Amino acid sequence: MRYLFEMCWLVVLFIILVATTPAFAATCTERQQVCFAYCEKTYNNSPKCRATCEDLLSMCKTTGCWESKVAAKRCDFDRR
């Protein structure tokens, strides 16, 4: 029983650590690189997709927020 309890705590701790670790870039420019990689992987580097990344970068540098069809709105980006 004690072993099961310890394992449950380890799983909970792991989930908390994973949930609080940023899964993507911390600056607007880094987030743009993630967007470009998504375009390359998903849309074969479509010019329209890359243009959307450029627009999102401009908005991010103004507001500090990044929101797209594939990424939930996040507003704690460094505006670099």
Q: Is the pLDDT of residue 35 over 70?
A: yes
pLDDT band, residue 69 (cuts 50/70/90): confident
For residue 24, the model assigns a pLDDT of: 54
Are residues 30 and 44 in contact, defined by beta-carbon separation less than 8 angstroms? no
Domain limits of the chain? Answer: 26-63
Return d(Cα 26, Cα 80) in angstroms, integer.
Answer: 9
Assign 17 to helix, strand or coil.
helix
pLDDT mean over 7-34: 62
Question: Model's pTM, two decimal places?
Answer: 0.66
Sign of the torsion formed by the C-alpha atoms of 69, 23, 53 and 78: positive
Average pLDDT value for the chain: 80
